[in-house]
Amino acid sequence: MNKYEALLKSKMEEHSFNKLTALGNDKVMDFVGQFIEHCEPDTVYVCDDSVSDEDYIRKVALEKKEEFPLAKNGQTIHWDSYGDQARDKRNTRYLVYKENLEKMHSLNSLEFEEGMKEIMGIAKGIMKGKDAVIKFFCEGPAHSEFTMPCVQFTDSWYVAHSESILYRPGYAHFKDMGKDDDFFRFIHSAGELDNRNCSINIDKRRIYMDTQNDIVYSMNNQYAGNSIGLKKHSMRLAISKSGREGWLCEHMFVMACINEDKGRRTYFTGAYPSGCGKTSTAMIPGEEVVGDDIAYFRNIDGEFRAVNVEQGIFGIIKDVNSNDDPVIFDNLMIPQELIFSNVLQDQDNNPHWLGSGLDAPDKGNNHSGYDWYKGKQDDTGKEIGIAHGNARYTMRLDYLHNFDKAGFEDTKGVRVQGILYGGRDSDITVPVEESPSWEDGIILKACTLESETTSATLGAEGVRNPSPMANMDFVSYPLGEYTDNNVNFGKKIENAPKIFSTNYFLKDENGEFCNSKLAKKVWLHWAEGRIHGEYDSIDTPMGKIPKYEDVKVLFKKFLDENYTEKEYNYQFSFRCINWIAKLERSKVFFMKMDEKTPMYIFKKWDDTISKISSIMDKYGDVIKPGDYKG
């Protein structure tokens, strides 16, 4: 008999208690029992994978007014507290045992005992007067080598509903795995709520992650980036776990490049910092998407295989319109299960967001309250727009007509043959370049990623923010060790994917972007051809670039554009001084983040800087395609 059995029976109806005990998993029972005792919810509902339980979650989310129905059947809207509409980086911290604090010093860490005392103090009785729900999920396909089982305990039915859309059901997997205790645990409470059922105590918002014991504590928040444990919190647990076990968890999309002429599909993954083209690359028209955000990589039978961790999209809705994101936009217009968050609800119960391309009303309900009107100002005197800039949509991937269902469901994952890394870079990196080796690709392309600030960013324009692997917000153990694991993982696979850098933001002499947003299809298909040995290349000091005649044909084929040799020569020139400065910035950043970064990484940068310096003495600063004779 479990020590919490009497307590569990007192908080659950019989069918919920029976679902829990049917798992035969003492660790699950202890987790649930401990937090029922500590957080003190009035009732607890346990879900299995049934349609009836999914319907029940949606029903309760509406009854509790955490969500509101919209005009189109299946669509709902949710609002977060005015101060809880983005990830709280300051209060998202790692709980670290005292002996590991020094090596985690550059990450946002807190001594374990101190952090546990604080978070458990906040959590004490936080669910009084509320009904909680327990859901079981799988990250990655169930019953697979990739599978990461997860259990979520929350008092927010909006959170439970969101996760039902975003993640694969996992109750059956838990039942089959029996007493296995290798799973992630998440405890969340929205805390005290206001009259809109939004979290009040934002000053006590905490998201504490214990990667040593695979558990996340999230209190006093509802914004999905803070509350949905299976999103980026789980990703941090998985990055730490993969580092210990020899696989990889990366902030990457997974997609299939479709070559209709050859009748083949080639799988790519890609990492891009926020605002640098990640989602638009995953959704290139004519290709197919497996996942848009998080991937697990494993060496399976000597092949580099990947799965999408999720089954849905939690996407930024700003600027989603019929021109730039037609696949997503069309689905937002259909009566089907969707959650809109922090957008405007008009008097006819239709949603409106920034950059939709549609006419917006002058008044309605939005993230600032039930009384929004055009010209309304916040406490600082700043005008409040129709929707928050970080407003979101939550949607199933299988709604998309270009969804690769077979790739998504493959329990062995898809075989990855190409990896794309791209940042926001106005004057250094060429539009596409192949790395000569896996190690060079990780150290010289992935580790040197930067995201350049724009006029839309608070602060100075043109500041280059380092973003190694486009993953710095989520790396959960020292950066040098994480990089070393990436290098070693690929080197152990005989036919590791080719690594390519891309750059969609190179500017011409007039400060205008060199190419349209659609040009990324050209760079993707050149990379696909290189993987299959179909294009020759030109050497640069750091890799291989396309020949003009090949990209000229691709521009005509896919975009019906005449790509000139003048454009090509400018865009694919190697810029020595800028590259040396970029590599020097990477050295400084890595030393700041992890002074114990393996020395071979710094040696690679130093050797490359020396090589470029020597080349510059011979060829000058800017080297046109074909001039360099390596």
Active site residues: 276
In the three-class reduction of DSSP (H, G, I as helix; E, B as strand; rest coil), residue 437 is classed as coil
Residue 580: phi and psi, rounded to 5, are -60, -45
Sign of the CA dihedral with 501 first, then 441, 603, and 593 last: positive
Q: How far apart are CA 353 and CA 350, in angstroms?
A: 10
Residue 542: phi and psi, rounded to 5, are -130, 10
Is residue 191 within 8 A of residue 204, CB to CB? The reply is: yes
Is residue 46 within 8 A of residue 16, CB to CB? The reply is: yes
Return the C-alpha torsion angle 214, 218, 223, 228, nearest 10.
30
Residue 242, token pair as written in the block:
């993969």
Residue 452, token pair as written in the block:
């350049």
619's enclosing H/E stretch is helix 599-619
Write down the number of H helices and E strands in the chain. 19, 33
Distances (CA, A) of 27 to 131, 135, 145, 615: 22, 15, 21, 61
Q: Tokens 């509320």 label which residue?
A: 130
Other beta carbons within 10 Å of 317? 26
Q: Tokens 């917000």 label which residue?
A: 473
Residue 63, token pair as written in the block:
């009854």
In the three-class reduction of DSSP (H, G, I as helix; E, B as strand; rest coil), residue 593 is classed as helix
Q: Could you give the angle at the alpha carbon of 191 between the alpha carbons of 190 and 196, nearest 5°?
A: 70
The separation between the first and the last C-alpha atoms of the chain, rounded to the nearest angstrom, is: 72
Distances (CA, A) of 151 to 181, 363, 471: 11, 41, 25
Q: Tokens 């005015």 label which residue?
A: 82
139's enclosing H/E stretch is strand 131-139
Distances (CA, A) of 34 to 2, 4, 25: 11, 8, 14
Q: What is the 3 state secondary structure string of 331-399?
A: HHCCCCCEEEECCEECCCCCEECCCCCCCCCCEEEECCEEEEECCCECCCCCECCCCCCCCEEEEEHHH
